Amino acid sequence: MGRVSMGSKTAGSPVVYAGRFAGRIAEAPDGWPVLSEWDVLPAKLAGWMEAATTLVVADLFSFPFEAMSNEQWDVPMIVVLPRGFDAGFLKTVFGTPLFERLTFFDCVVAPENSPVLEELRRRYHWTEGQLIEVGGEGPEEAVAEIYALLEAEPDLFGSNDVAPGLDKATHRAQSSVLEPQFAAARGARAADVPFDVLEVGCGTGRWAFSFDLAGTRFFGLDAGEERIAGARANFPAASFDRLGPDLLFPHQDESFDLVFCVEVMHYKPAPAKLRLLSEMWRVARPGGRLLFLEDFVAGGWPAASTVYPTSVLEFVDLLLEATNGQIVLEHVESVRYPREDITRAGVIVVSRLGVPKRW
């Protein structure tokens, strides 16, 4: 097919970059734009990315990754690995500009049972949920299967009720404050000393993506059976268990160097918050850290709301009650999310006081 014009752009739709293969890629469903090399010149790229809900890149060699801004990287991506090249070559060419920037919210497309994909997956820690294996011999067949996937699962990258890329943008903002704290919790321990981590409310495991599981023993808890199944598929080297309605953790006292949760507490009323905080403190080792990233906004919520945010001061009072004051404040930081005018979230990190019961 020929090049598309800017006037044919469809707001709020996937955008397919076909590059050199534009003449071989079939017309996309529902008017999704299919772009050639000419359509991503610097003056045009921003216009296409502004409305994209997903960016499908079928021609990696000609796409201008270096010209993309952080906001454009927030758009979920599906990238089609070129055929006929070994993993070493692809790492050399695309490692820094692309592979190292892919997140839990992006997908990689390759032929079924591809040894190249398996090697790249190990190198960049891609999860099961990020991989799309396709048949066929060329990019046109791969894109046809991606069309079918996106039509069947329009919420593949999150809720359609939020702005395009907002989940990925939020994750980027959270990562910028959480990952330095993950590193601080690990400290200067030797590489052969295990780092034991527990995430409460782990979902399908997206924060396990931030840890080197070769040197981290990662555990997760979640109330949803399907989410736990997804986490186990995504990270077979980690351990995930279901959290029962009693909110009691299936772990021994003083088992973890880091215990954390992200956007969990504000979905729990005060008694449940207190139980979770007590359990998190119980399983943390003396000197270990408890980390919380939450919405600390109080007031203005209807009585029937299922969201229970608290102010920072109210949360600290609950934390002191749950731990009998046996904690030391390590870090506090506010978090402002992209496209929001208010600062509604924050990170609180404390360490547990005490003498180990066992060595």
The rounded distance, in Å, linking the Cα atoms of 259 and 295 is 18
Q: Which amino acid is at 273?
A: K
- Can you read off the two tokens belonging to residue 295? 């919405």
Return the pLDDT at 107.
94
Helices 87-94 and 115-124, axial angle in degrees (round to 10): 50
Provide the whole-model pTM. 0.84
Instruction: Name which of 232, 321, 207, 309 is nearest 267 in CA terms.
Output: 309
d(CA 307, CA 281): 23
Q: What are the Cα distances from residue 341, in Å, to 151, 197, 297, 337, 344?
A: 33, 33, 14, 8, 9
Spatial strand order of the sheet with 77-80 comes to: 34-35, 13-17, 52-57, 77-80, 107-111, 131-134
DSSP 205-234: TGGGGGS-TTTEEEEEEES-HHHHHHHHHH
pLDDT recorded at residue 140? 87
Which residue ranges make up each domain of the chain? Answer: 6-152, 166-352
| Matching residue, tokens 């469903």 | 29
**Closest to 286 in 3D by CA, of 200, 359, 190, 184:** 359
Token digits of residue 152? 């069947």
pLDDT tens, N- to C-terminus, the chain (359 residues): 333 333 344 457 889 999 999 888 877 777 788 999 998 887 788 888 887 889 999 999 999 999 898 889 999 999 999 999 999 999 999 999 999 999 989 999 999 889 999 999 989 989 988 999 888 778 888 998 998 888 887 666 544 333 445 688 889 899 999 999 999 999 988 778 899 999 999 999 999 999 989 899 999 999 999 999 999 999 999 999 999 999 999 999 999 999 999 999 988 999 999 999 999 999 999 999 999 999 987 555 556 667 788 889 999 999 999 999 999 999 999 998 887 777 889 999 999 998 887 65
Residue range 166-352 in CATH 3.40.50.150: yes
Q: For 7-88, list the strands marked E by DSSP.
A: 13-17, 34-35, 52-57, 77-80
